[in-house]
């Protein structure tokens, strides 16, 4: 891979914001030098269609068509198909898919039925959306994030996150398929040859761990630890979005960026934490990290661009 090439390990919305920031730095890093390794643990089949939420969120964001408020789904979408489905299925369609979004799932399901791999489908979709970063599912095998609640329920990711609004207390998380799910050759090549590897500010437990659980990835990152960095997904003990700190409390963990650093300690050696957590710098340095403090709260396009620029300038 070329000099300033990067591979970004990415989950949902937090990652999409950072990647969007990188996409606004074309002069700093050419698009062909940016590759994104995407979590597939949220994927599921609904109404007979194959849904890939993390891939779609990132693809729509980079293509500039993501819903600007929800940060998922397609902007200005309508929901006629969904309401007709509710009529037919006589049950609430709790996973809200818009009419334009349905086209992505129909197209993906058709290509998979024709024998294409998830990676092959991803390449078709990103080409048609004129996305010039290379977006790669972490595996072409089945890998599903499963939530074990303290009440003994076993939920698929979107059942937990959307249907139950991430309310159930979580006892543990497991990854159905991780004993057989293997990283694709494209992912292994990307993680072997990208100059730097960045773990995006996603939920470590729900979005990054499934990627690390994919056969071949953890070992590769451990070998390349000196070239791996993470961006903290929490600021001042609070998650910017989603259940990261709620999970940390339920797991009895300290809700701080220091705990995030502990979580990634075997695979990363550089930490980007928020300026509001600068007093945590010493504790993270004691874990062996090189630490940079910056404003990681990506409230608008310029903040996304600033964070991306800060990170890339520190890494190259
Ligand atoms: N998130 C919600 O909170 N409610 C939804 O109804 C919903 C629908 C949805 C449809 C397509 C898609 O790609 C994402 C969607 N999301 C929805 C977001 C998604 O559940 C999560 O943001 C990611 O899976 C987390 O990484």
For the Cβ of 97 lying below 6 angstroms from any atom of ligand 1, the answer is yes
Neighbours of 246 (CB within 10 A): 15
Measured in Å, how far apart are the chain's first and last C-alpha atoms? 14
Q: Please answer whether residues 221 and 267 qualify as being in contact, where contact means their C-beta atoms are separated by less than 8 angstroms.
A: yes
191-194, Cβ contacts within 8 angstroms, sequence gap of 24 or more: 191/7, 191/37, 191/217, 191/220, 191/221, 191/224, 192/220, 192/224, 193/1, 193/5, 194/1, 194/5, 194/6, 194/7, 194/35
Q: Separation of 2 CA from ligand 1 center, angstroms? A: 34
- CA 224 to chain CA centroid, Å, is 20
Q: Give the start-end residues of each E strand in the chain.
A: 6-10, 34-38, 44-46, 49-51, 134-137, 144-149, 154-156, 170-176, 196-199, 228-231, 234-235, 238-239, 270-274, 290-294
- What are the chain's domains? 6-148+175-315 (3.40.50.10680)
Q: Which atom of ligand 1 is nearest to the CA of 11?
A: 26
pLDDT for 1: 53
Q: Separation of 217 CA from ligand 1 center, angstroms? A: 26
For the Cβ of 158 lying below 6 angstroms from any atom of ligand 1, the answer is yes
Q: Which atom of ligand 1 is nearest to the CA of 95?
A: 6
For the Cβ of 43 lying below 6 angstroms from any atom of ligand 1, the answer is no
CA pair distance 26, 232, nearest whole angstrom: 24
Q: Separation of 206 CA from ligand 1 center, angstroms? A: 13
Q: Separation of 262 CA from ligand 1 center, angstroms? A: 28
Residue nearest to atom 4 of ligand 1 (CA): 162
Q: Which atom of ligand 1 is nearest to the CA of 206?
A: 26
Residue nearest to atom 3 of ligand 1 (CA): 162
CA-based nearest residue to 133, from 263, 36, 199: 36
CA pair distance 293, 295, nearest whole angstrom: 7
User: Tokens 């070998």 identify what position?
Assistant: 223
CA pair distance 139, 37, nearest whole angstrom: 9
Neighbouring residues of 113: CB distance < 8 A, sequence distance ≥ 6: none
Q: Which atom of ligand 1 is nearest to the CA of 94?
A: 6
CA pair distance 202, 39, nearest whole angstrom: 10
List the structure tokens of 197: 């590897």
Q: Separation of 174 CA from ligand 1 center, angstroms? A: 20
For the Cβ of 49 lying below 6 angstroms from any atom of ligand 1, the answer is no
Q: Separation of 164 CA from ligand 1 center, angstroms? A: 12
- Secondary-structure breakdown of the chain: helix, strand, coil percentages, each rounded to the nearest 5: 45, 20, 35
For the Cβ of 11 lying below 6 angstroms from any atom of ligand 1, the answer is yes
For the Cβ of 96 lying below 6 angstroms from any atom of ligand 1, the answer is yes
pLDDT for 108: 98
Q: What is the pLDDT along the chain (316 residues), one digit of tens a residue?
A: 557 899 999 998 999 999 999 999 988 899 999 999 999 999 999 999 999 999 999 999 999 999 999 999 999 999 999 999 999 998 889 999 999 999 999 999 999 999 999 999 999 999 999 999 999 999 999 999 999 999 999 999 999 999 999 999 999 999 998 789 999 999 999 999 999 999 999 999 999 999 999 999 999 999 999 999 999 999 998 888 889 999 999 999 999 999 999 999 999 999 999 999 999 999 999 999 999 999 999 989 999 999 999 999 999 9
Q: Separation of 24 CA from ligand 1 center, angstroms? A: 24
List the structure tokens of 99: 């009419």
Q: Which atom of ligand 1 is nearest to the CA of 56?
A: 13
CA pair distance 166, 304, nearest whole angstrom: 26
Residue nearest to atom 18 of ligand 1 (CA): 72
User: What are the backbone angles phi and psi of residue 140, rounded to the nearest 5°?
Assistant: -100, 0
In the 8-state DSSP scheme, what is residue 215? B
pLDDT for 293: 97
């Amino acid at each position: 891979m070329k000099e300033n090439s990067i591979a970004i390990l990415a989950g949902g919305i937090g990652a999409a914001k950072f990647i969007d920031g990188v996409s606004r730095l074309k002069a700093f890093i050419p698009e062909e030098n940016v590759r994104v390794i995407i979590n597939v643990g949220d994927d599921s089949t609904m109404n007979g269609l194959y849904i890939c939420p993390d891939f779609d969120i990132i693809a729509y964001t980079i293509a500039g068509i993501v819903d600007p408020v929800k940060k998922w789904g397609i902007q200005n979408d309508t929901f006629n198909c969904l309401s007709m489905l509710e009529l037919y299925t006589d049950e609430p369609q709790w996973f809200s898919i818009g009419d334009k979004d349905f086209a992505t799932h129909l197209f993906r399901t058709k290509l998979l039925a024709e024998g294409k791999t998830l990676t092959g489908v991803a390449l078709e979709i990103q080409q048609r959306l004129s996305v010039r970063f290379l977006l790669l599912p972490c595996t072409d095998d089945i890998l599903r994030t499963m939530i074990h609640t303290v009440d003994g329920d076993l939920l698929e990711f979107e059942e937990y996150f959307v249907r139950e609004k991430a309310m159930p207390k979580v006892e543990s998380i497991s990854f159905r398929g991780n004993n057989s799910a293997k990283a694709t050759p494209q992912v292994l090549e990307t993680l072997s040859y990208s100059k730097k590897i960045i773990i995006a500010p996603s939920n470590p437990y729900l979005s990054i761990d499934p990627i690390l659980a994919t056969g071949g990835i953890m070992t590769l990152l451990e070998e390349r630890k000196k070239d791996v960095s993470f961006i903290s997904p929490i600021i001042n003990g609070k998650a910017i979005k989603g259940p990261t700190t709620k999970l940390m409390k339920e797991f009895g963990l300290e809700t701080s960026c220091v705990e995030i650093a502990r979580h990634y300690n075997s695979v990363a050696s550089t930490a980007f934490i928020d300026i509001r957590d600068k007093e945590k710098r010493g504790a993270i340095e004691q874990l062996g990290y090189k630490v940079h403090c910056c404003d990681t709260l990506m409230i608008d396009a310029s903040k996304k661009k600033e964070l991306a620029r800060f990170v890339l300038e520190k890494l190259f």
